[in-house]
Chain A
């Protein structure tokens, strides 16, 4: 089992290296096939690990394996090790499975794009980094992988490096993630100082012995990393901009896998968070606030990918809420279904963008239902799953989170209210997007711009993948139907016992509230954007400005640092650094002028200097000896 996990980890790396080293010697299509093949191979290995783990006793399922000692410093010794338990296998299956589908889709999407090989190299490298993140055997490896996924995300957002917007978005994502990486690293420093180790089991064993201040600080540092990576308030502004990357990148990294790493982190380090309950509550509150805020902003977005990006933020908010109140398995189950339906929405949007030659503004779409029926159906399934309408997958995973919130006391009721409001907003913004883009009659302009691919809506590799994801988004929810059958909960509970247990009546209340609010949201969207029975209100500026976060950061961080830099340039760098350098240069030149005079070019003067010098030395020696 553990060898399969190693294979799963290193196959995508081998794929990335092959593509990078082969360079121009392989053709463009081959790079796509190698990347897809390596990630699909990783998926097979992940399934193998899973099956092997199924055959074991529950107590023996978690296994660690160390390849070699990676880093030794004083008493600290970090191995290059992996730790594979139920949670790791669960994530490995999602990452490699959804990853293989999306990389395969990219073969069609990225066809005839410049530097296609570089794209596939990066994609395979990202899958490796993400697998390292979920398999890494200690917190240091987790941090290293945390940085690597950030790097791959940066590289892929900025893939179209000739567009300044893409480069700016890549930098923004990298810098905001670096804030989280820094707090994460600080938490690890504190852990090393207090416990002298970063191994999962060793840290969790010692966490009860930590003082509450230390536990709170460590948990806060980890939460900072999770919040930055998962684009939660207040470090959320990079995710919508990251939509500048190619659509498969948005689907894989900014919807299905990397951005949910924060949820994984909180679950993985659950004992630390449980030792600092107020921090865990903070995670839940941040998640709840994010899900509402992102839902509100999504209402006024006009770029189809940005609408989906805000809905991603919102759905990750649900997952943060879940792991924040200790409903770990429901959070992970929502992560699974979200990976399916959000990847589906992005990839279906990718078909649209592909067919409309890069058009992303929903206001210039409309009537696409008649032109692209397959994509419409895919979008409809993805949308219904997102709004959590039964029997689509989101229903089975979102409502248990609402139910679990009800079991969390007074705070839980507030969280439940926010989550329920989010359910309504989800219905509105999702179906606003669908009604505007697909409803009505297509304009002649749109018809003329539509480019079908051999009479189909897109290349076969794209359509097949979207078809598979449509089926998954529709039926994957049946994997678990709390409280009737709960295989996901049973599988994941041994990793960390849940802190809340929803009763049947809570499940019932949550289901009724969630579904009816979702339907209400869809109805509202229908009245506003399809039937047009109601006047569409003018978008509020506060929403269009995304709650002023970008402006705030601009005013608080960017402008002061630019102003400081200008002052420092005028007062310090110019006179002090530049001036001193000029002085050194002219001084050296003047000194050299004096030395130059000695260099006469006449050999006899040199000889005289040598002889004279020798004579002086001899005289000195003799005089010293006489004394």
Chain B
């Protein structure tokens, strides 16, 4: 498989999007959106991380094996977080303060 050389233009575009996302996430944090504040912050963070993984880390152009490992890491992280929170969030039904 020949090496895929990503054009510089793509790196600059991704960089610009990442900067825009950083600006947005800071601005949104100063508005009261209730629960949506956390949702927005995490959504933007996931978008930024995905862009870094796909383009800066070349996974978009990677082999299927690399895709499997990357998706696997997210999947196992999901198990870690989902099962942990499934336990803790349902342990005691009261308002925490």
- Binding between chains A and B: no
B: residues with CB less than 8 A from A are none
